Amino acid sequence: MNAAVDTRAPAPIVQSDPFTREFMDDPYPGFAAMRAAGPVLWSPQYGCYIVARHDDVQRVLSEWQTFSSAAGVGLANFSKEKPWRPPSIVLEADPPLHTRTRTVLARTMTPGVVKALRERFEREAEILVDRVLDMGAFDGITDFAEHYPVKVFPDALGLPEKGRENLLPYGSMVFNSFGPRNEFTEAAMANADSVRGWIMANCTRKALGKDGLGAMIYAAVDSGELTEDEAGMLVRSFLSAGVDTTCNAFGNLLWCLATHPDQWRKLREKPELARNAFEESLRYEGPAQAFFRTTTKDVEIGGIRIAANEKICAFMQSANRDPQRWERADAFDIERRVVGHMGFGTGIHGCVGQPIARLEGEAVFAALARKAKTIELAGEPKRQYNNVLRSFASLPVRVTRA
């Protein structure tokens, strides 16, 4: 027997619980402590590893052969416990399945498709901004951030109008379920059956319009790339991933602008900065905090050994504030060169909908920059607690017209 000493260090123990209100109220000191403690931490409470430094998060999200998505991208390990819904065939999948499904999704987000959507998205953005300017004082979440993505994206999909109020509750179920079973998951699952029922019923070919993104997915059935059931599952992916995320991003950017008057001034002077402002908000205050992977074999990160079939949580929002990667990491700067942020993830699972998310962000915040003169908080924001999504439940804002 080889008596060589194993010099690899054990992972330091994580000192905080990231799935609590206290942590979510201000996660940044907690992230800094995680980054300082080591390249990989161990959570005895959740039985998972955590990476929080930019380069390690990037590695875990990039090396899909070692860090698999097929056992789920939440804490639950699908090889050990039954998932709460049939797994996504794109998010919770590895190649070759992932390659086939992602190819179909990507075809619905090409520059040509985005170009065709732009006019409609810009028109709706003007309507949204005019309405809140007429209100003067409004809630940045319920009157603003939650309106637009729930309208324009389902319109583009060809989803019926009726029942769209199920979309955000479904998003809450999906994203809370990536975390541990706790009070947030329990609350999100309150109306699970009726919400899930509506979602599944509206993923079918006959529920969707004839010339939307949904129909493009079903066209891949006719060309032999997908089965009819798989097409429904990919429409479900749109509804899972494409609404709550953008709503939360809008609320977060609105908060950033209302609390950083110098950056708001810059944006007003140059509305063409809207696209980069949206991008910087995904770095500075991104909605998606973390996703998990499962090791497919023994692996080392920064000299720390991790066995096969272990869960690793990659804290994207910590990577987004890592001072080793970013100058003035904690400054919101809409002119920053922001490539490399983890707000859309990275690697083969990097957000497939990002061209549409960017179109939405650019349309809304460019319209706001052109039409509004001042924007400020009119009350205390209230946080929305979710295991994975960072956002506000309420954001009282006051605006004046330019």
Residues at the interface with ligand 4IA (CB under 6 A): 88, 90-91, 174, 237, 240-241, 245
Q: How many CA atoms lie within 13 A of 64 on its CB side?
A: 18
Choice between 68 and 237, CB closer to ligand 4IA: 237
Alpha helices in 227-273 (DSSP H): 228-241, 244-259, 261-269
Say how far apart CA 169 and CA 231 lie, in whole Å. Answer: 22
Residue 13: beta bridge partners? 42
How many whole angstroms separate alpha carbon 266 and alpha carbon 335? 9
Whichever of 38 and 232 has its CB closer to ligand 4IA, that residue is: 232
Residue 67: CB minimum distance to ligand 4IA, A: 15
Parallel, antiparallel or unpaired: strands 290-295 and 137-139: unpaired
Minimum gap (Å) between residue 317 Cβ and ligand 4IA: 13
Which regions of 84-140 does DSSP assign to beta strands (E)? 137-139
The residue (of 109 and 267) whose beta carbon lies closer to ligand 4IA is 109
DSSP 3-state assignment of 336?
coil
Kindly state the smallest distance separating residue 93's Cβ from ligand 4IA, in Å: 9
| Pick 38 or 345: Cβ nearer ligand 4IA | 345
97: how many CB neighbours lie within 10 A of its CB? 14
Output the smallest distance, CB 345 to ligand 4IA, in A: 7
Q: What token pair was written down for 37? A: 């403690």
Shortest gap between Cβ of 25 and ligand 4IA (angstroms)? 23
Rounded least distance, CB 272 to ligand 4IA, Å? 28
Distances (CA, A) of 138 to 86, 142, 261: 39, 8, 18
Please state the closest distance from residue 349 (CB atom) to ligand 4IA, in A.
8
Between 174 and 334, name the residue whose CB sits nearer to ligand 4IA.
Answer: 174
Q: Coil, strand or helix: which one is 157?
A: helix
A 10 A CB-CB count for 276 gives: 18
Give whichever of 73 and 368 is closer to ligand 4IA, judged by the CB atom: 73
Q: In sequence order, what DSSP letters do the residues of 342-371 get, joined into one string? A: STT--GGGS-TTHHHHHHHHHHHHHHHHHH
Q: Which is nearer to ligand 4IA, 24 or 342 (CB)?
A: 342
- What is the closest distance, in whole angstroms, from the C-beta atom of residue 80 to ligand 4IA in the complex? 21
CA distance 319 to 321: 5
Residue 237 CB, nearest approach to ligand 4IA (Å): 3
DSSP 15-57: -S-TTSHHHHHSHHHHHHHHHHH-SSEEETTTTEEEE-SHHHH
How far is residue 212's CA from residue 210's CA, in Å, rounded to a whole number? 6
Measured from the CB atom, the residue of 246 and 263 that comes closer to ligand 4IA is 246
Give whichever of 241 and 367 is closer to ligand 4IA, judged by the CB atom: 241
